[in-house]
């Protein structure tokens, strides 16, 4: 069955036919078994898309699976961005040049441990709008976006001579609801956008009955027993296949404060062998995870489990690690896939791993306290959430002046997601949604004292029943001894860049006050490296103008991956924002990552 894959990939030039057979996918009338690996262009520096795809070929993959993230492409409503790392069409084109098919997953909802599951934050500016349903305002925004995606991707469909074999509508919808009419609206929008080939859905085994669309292929996630996979798809697809595991998990994601997730390579390889031997097509999630940069991490939350934000590292214990180097799992999977190739077909050699460098003692000469850079506030009687302030990500400082002397319980109702509380510039406590901690004791406060609450969006929920309730900041009210505090000034810190902050080498910083630290360093050679944040508190880092991700001393991630292509020979600039610790004078970069160091405070 694999012969069709390898003969057709030699030169993806002619137009092909792709269809659903009774037991297998059919390419030009011959069976095609997809051996696919998930990789997202947004999480991998554009400079390395091709090298990662060469690694995919070397492991034996014939297909790349990928999501498309709405919030990356429409950061402001009506303004679309398909450039740079968002150039999904170029990503597909490179895959074609490297002889790889693509399974495209452009559902406006992705999950993927990505902020708001891929939905843009501005949908929440209308507090009555409901995502992922038949709300006309949502559907219109959804359609506008998908039409733009169609312009980018429809030329690369296999029906148009490209390498996109099939397209997913919605994503794991059965874990959310079961409205078949809504699913069919999805289908119609995708057809109108030019996606005229094979469409499919995917769900976990128990959610599949609710999430599939009758008449379209129901792929399954998280199931790797061949008999069970075939029985489930047969049941909901007129007694036939093809059989496709759209997400198989030889790894898992990390959340802050929990150990680094790993799986056993030998056991995973055995499962892969069984699936391929049964003729089932498979997409491993992830083949290469990469990094979730800036403020794009998501969070999980359920009725029994607390809010839990995910790390910037999306290493996923995948066959290719965060920096794109092959792991032991990669080589075990390669051995399995090689075993299933037609006689005489061999895999290409594995490319060399990337070189790494260490950068010791980067001096942080310039520093500036956040409270010295407040700018002009928004003034309102009641605190406004991020969305009402027209801000998507980052931080907001909420400030009020106490009208009378008071002490007692200070409570922030529905605080999203992490907050530091100050009285007269002195930190008095931390509030954390993950710990279900939304209040603290305020002691000996006087009339005229200044109360500050610095609130951070720690990542909107990307999965589960709370997906629609994702407004950020102080979303309801602040009370002291049950009485609502009014008269607020709100200072916005979206941190789209760190430009405009005023630094000084000897500026005083109040004890435990959040601050930015800037340094410059020279390099005579570049290489992949890992910024060591283990002595810092919580914040993010900009390198040469790019937000390279978040850090938090709770772990398990203690380093931030810096790709060689984002460093420069000569002068480089780094800016570190730390909201919990201060007094930093230097930082270093290591030649290896630290991804499994949990710190209990």
* Residues with catalytic function: 172, 247
- Burial of residue 193 (CB within 10 Å: 0-12, 13-18, 19+) is buried
Q: If DSSP codes are grouped into helix, strand and coil, which group holds residue 242?
A: coil
β-bridge pairing 63-67 and 101-105: parallel
Our measurement of the distance from residue 428's CA atom to the centroid of its chain's CA atoms, rounded to an integer in Å, reads 33
Tokens of 330: 């990669």
Three-class secondary structure assignment of 553-564: CCCCCCEEEECH
CB 547 within 8 A of CB 528: no
Task: Return d(Cα 437, Cα 411) in angstroms, integer.
Answer: 9
Strands lying side by side in the sheet with 473-480: 439-445, 406-416, 473-480, 483-484
Helix (H) or strand (E) holding 117: none
Tokens of 155: 């030329």
Q: Where are the alpha helices (DSSP H) in 27-87?
A: 49-59, 70-73
DSSP state for residue 232 in the 8-state scheme: H
Task: Return d(Cα 459, Cα 547) in angstroms, integer.
Answer: 15
Strands lying side by side in the sheet with 559-562: 359-363, 586-590, 529-532, 559-562
CB neighbour burial string for 492-527, b if at least 16 within 10 angstroms, e if fewer: bbbbeebeebebeeeeebbebbbbbbbbebeeeebb
Task: Return d(Cα 47, Cα 361) in angstroms, integer.
Answer: 28
- Burial of residue 454 (CB within 10 Å: 0-12, 13-18, 19+) is buried
Find residue 410's DSSP bridge partners.
Answer: 440, 480
Task: Return d(Cα 296, Cα 519) in angstroms, integer.
Answer: 25
CB 242 within 8 A of CB 251: no
């Amino acid at each position: 069955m694999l012969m069709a894959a390898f003969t057709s990939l030699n030169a993806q030039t002619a137009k092909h036919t792709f269809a659903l057979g009774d037991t297998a996918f059919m390419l030009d009338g011959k069976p095609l078994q997809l051996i696919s690996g998930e990789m997202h262009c947004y999480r991998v520096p554009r400079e390395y898309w091709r090298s990662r795809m060469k690694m995919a070929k070397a492991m034996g993959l014939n297909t790349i699976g990928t999501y498309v993230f709405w919030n990356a492409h429409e950061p402001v409503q009506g303004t679309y961005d398909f450039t740079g790392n968002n150039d999904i069409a170029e990503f597909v084109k490179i895959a074609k040049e490297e002889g790889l098919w693509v399974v495209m997953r452009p559902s406006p909802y992705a999950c993927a441990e990505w902020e708001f599951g891929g939905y843009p934050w501005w949908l929440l500016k209308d507090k009555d709008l409901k995502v992922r349903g038949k709300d006309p305002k949502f559907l219109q925004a959804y359609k506008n976006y998908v039409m733009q995606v169609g312009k980018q991707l429809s030329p690369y469909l296999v029906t148009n001579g490209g390498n996109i074999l099939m397209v997913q509508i919605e994503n794991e919808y059965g874990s959310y609801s079961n409205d078949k009419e809504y699913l069919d609206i999805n289908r119609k929008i995708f057809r109108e956008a030019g996606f005229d080939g094979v469409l499919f859905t995917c769900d976990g085994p128990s959610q599949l009955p609710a999430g599939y669309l009758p008449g379209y292929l129901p792929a399954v996630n998280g199931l790797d027993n061949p008999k069970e996979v075939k029985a489930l798809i047969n049941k909901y697809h007129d007694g036939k296949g093809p059989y496709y595991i759209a997400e198989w998990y030889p790894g898992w994601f990390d959340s802050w404060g929990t150990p680094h997730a790993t799986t056993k390579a030998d056991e995973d390889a055995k499962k892969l062998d069984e699936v391929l031997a049964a003729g089932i097509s498979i997409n491993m999630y992830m083949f290469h995870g990469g990094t979730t940069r800036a403020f794009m991490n998501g969070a999980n939350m359920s009725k029994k489990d607390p809010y839990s934000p995910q790390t910037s590292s999306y290493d996923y214990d995948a066959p290719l690690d965060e920096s794109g180097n092959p792991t032991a799992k990669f080589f075990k999977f390669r051995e399995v896939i090689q075993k299933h190739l037609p006689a005489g077909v061999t895999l290409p050699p594995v490319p060399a791993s990337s070189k790494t460098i260490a950068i010791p003692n980067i001096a942080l000469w310039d520093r500036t306290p956040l409270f010295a850079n407040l700018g002009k506030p928004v003034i309102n009687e009641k605190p406004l959430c991020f969305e009402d302030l027209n801000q998507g990500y980052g931080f907001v400082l909420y400030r009020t002046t106490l009208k009378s002397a008071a002490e007692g319980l200070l409570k922030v109702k529905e605080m999203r997601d992490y907050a530091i509380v100050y009285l007269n510039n002195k930190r008095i406590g931390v509030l954390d949604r993950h710990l279900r901690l939304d209040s603290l004791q305020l002691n000996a406060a006087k009339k005229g004292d200044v109360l500050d609450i610095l609130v951070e969006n720690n990542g909107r929920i990307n999965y589960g029943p709370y997906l629609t309730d994702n407004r950020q900041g102080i979303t309801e009210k602040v009370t002291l001894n049950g009485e609502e505090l009014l008269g607020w000034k709100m200072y916005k810190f979206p941190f789209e860049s760190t430009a405009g902050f005023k630094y000084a080498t000897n500026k005083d910083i109040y004890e435990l006050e959040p601050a930015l630290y800037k340094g410059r360093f020279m390099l005579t050679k570049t290489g992949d490296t890992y910024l060591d944040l283990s002595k810092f508190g919580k914040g993010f880092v900009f390198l040469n103008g790019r937000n390279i991700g978040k850090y938090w001393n709770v772990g398990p991630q203690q380093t931030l991956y810096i790709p060689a292509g984002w460093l420069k020979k000569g002068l480089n600039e780094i800016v570190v924002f730390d909201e919990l610790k201060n007094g930093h004078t230097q930082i270093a970069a290591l030649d290896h990552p630290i991804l499994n160091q949990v710190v209990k405070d």
